[in-house]
Homo-oligomer: A and B are copies of this chain.
């Protein structure tokens, strides 16, 4: 793969955020140059073997899941965490069937678990990680909870890296690229605490019966704007470096994934950045090893367009609220930025004129979970294939 070298980076305390790097070529010979990074197939393969791909899924089209699975490079463990319907039309059963067929045909290492699996809830309870559970004792609904579950399973499987791919992608070839972009990112990063966030070049939308290649989604634009405000506040220099505030497609080293707090709902991805800036920006953290090594955030612009299921516009208000609340309630957010966020939310009718956004629920890191105990409780045969 041939990728642009990052042209600059913003640094706040131990956190280094690199500018967007474009993928210049999917497969490349070794090229030398100060502005280029060529990453050989062997290097990428080496990371892929240690990478687990988590696919959170909830009632997506089965054909799309099938295409996504078929595109993931051979060396990567796949972990599907499903929160699909079980009553009435048993969507989870269909997903499990697709995965069983896929596994028996290809021998690809893959497992699927339902988010509401009683064994899973019990395992979380036994290890004391109850903040992921709801009042009925099961794992709470939500993509964030699915992603955390997947991350923990990847940790159980002793993987060094974990990446997240949405199940609603129309282009298998793009999924194949995402995974290799993750791997290329880890080849370039130097810290054991690294995160790779993918940026789409274009997100095709249907406008008046034609495909229009949009550069920015509306929610992304607002998210990035306020995240950059927050970062500018911290460093004292205005910046627009953050372009992947909402990156659904992202990956982390297991070291980083283990020490992160997670936000819930629509704010999980932007909160990752807020959390890192809060925790490692001012050096007040207890994780001294992170301060010594530094946290690296790479943003990679993929070559393929991002063409996925349209979920409609109705959730935009909820998304904005979740995203901006995360910045509003950050300890790094000053009064001026708070007033701007309130204005934005009120203009978009996301909150009333006198309201302030509610704080998002935050889930603690998984680092203290007793993995052996967790596996032991979980091993009741709930994960398929074994």
Chain A residues within CB distance 8 Å of chain B? 2, 23-29, 31, 36, 67, 70-71, 73-74, 105-108, 170-174, 176-177, 204, 206, 209-211, 303-305, 307, 310
Q: Which residues of B contact A105 (CB under 8 A)?
A: 2, 24, 31, 36
A365 → chain B closest CB, angstroms: 33
Q: Which residues of B contact A70 (CB under 8 A)?
A: 23-26, 303
Distance in angstroms between the alpha carbons of A2 and B72 in the assembled complex: 12
- CB closest residue in chain B, given A36: B105
Q: Which residues of B contact A173 (CB under 8 A)?
A: 26, 171-174, 176-177, 303-304
A206 touches B204 (CB 8 A): no
Give which listed residue, B2, B106, B172, contacts A31 with CB less than 8 A: B106
Distance in angstroms between the alpha carbons of A304 and B307 in the assembled complex: 12
Known contacts A25-B70, A209-B209; A305 and B108 CB within 8 A of each other: no
B74 touches A172 (CB 8 A): no
Known contacts A26-B70, A70-B303; A31 and B171 CB within 8 A of each other: no
Distance in angstroms between the alpha carbons of A71 and B25 in the assembled complex: 6
Copies in the complex: 2
A74 touches B106 (CB 8 A): no
Q: Which residues of B contact A305 (CB under 8 A)?
A: 170-171
Q: Which residues of B contact A67 (CB under 8 A)?
A: 303
Q: Which residues of B contact A176 (CB under 8 A)?
A: 26-27, 173, 176
Distance in angstroms between the alpha carbons of A45 and B170 in the assembled complex: 27
A198 → chain B closest CB, angstroms: 13
A326 → chain B closest CB, angstroms: 32
B170 touches A211 (CB 8 A): yes
A161 → chain B closest CB, angstroms: 18
Q: Which residues of B contact A27 (CB under 8 A)?
A: 73-74, 176
Give which listed residue, B177, B206, B304, contacts A209 with CB less than 8 A: B206
Q: A23-B70, A26-B172 are in contact. List 11 more A-B contacts (CB 8 A).
A: A2-B106, A25-B108, A27-B176, A29-B107, A31-B105, A31-B107, A171-B304, A176-B176, A206-B206, A206-B211, A210-B310
Q: Name the residue in A31, A172, A204 with the highest tally of chain B Cβ atoms < 10 Å from its Cβ.
A: A172
Distance in angstroms between the alpha carbons of A73 and B174 in the assembled complex: 15
7 A–B contact pairs at CB < 8 A?
A26-B173, A70-B303, A170-B211, A173-B304, A206-B206, A206-B211, A211-B307
- CB closest residue in chain B, given A106: B25
Q: Which residues of B contact A31 (CB under 8 A)?
A: 105-107
Give which listed residue, B24, B28, B204, B206, contacts A210 with CB less than 8 A: B206
A256 → chain B closest CB, angstroms: 27
B108 touches A172 (CB 8 A): no
A172 touches B206 (CB 8 A): no
Give which listed residue, B107, B211, B303, B310, contacts A71 with CB less than 8 A: B303
A305 → chain B closest CB, angstroms: 6
- CB closest residue in chain B, given A177: B173
Q: Which residues of B contact A23 (CB under 8 A)?
A: 70
A170 → chain B closest CB, angstroms: 6
Give which listed residue, B73, B170, B209, B304, contacts A204 with CB less than 8 A: B170
Closest 7 CB pairs of A and B: A173-B173, A27-B74, A173-B304, A172-B303, A25-B70, A27-B73, A173-B174
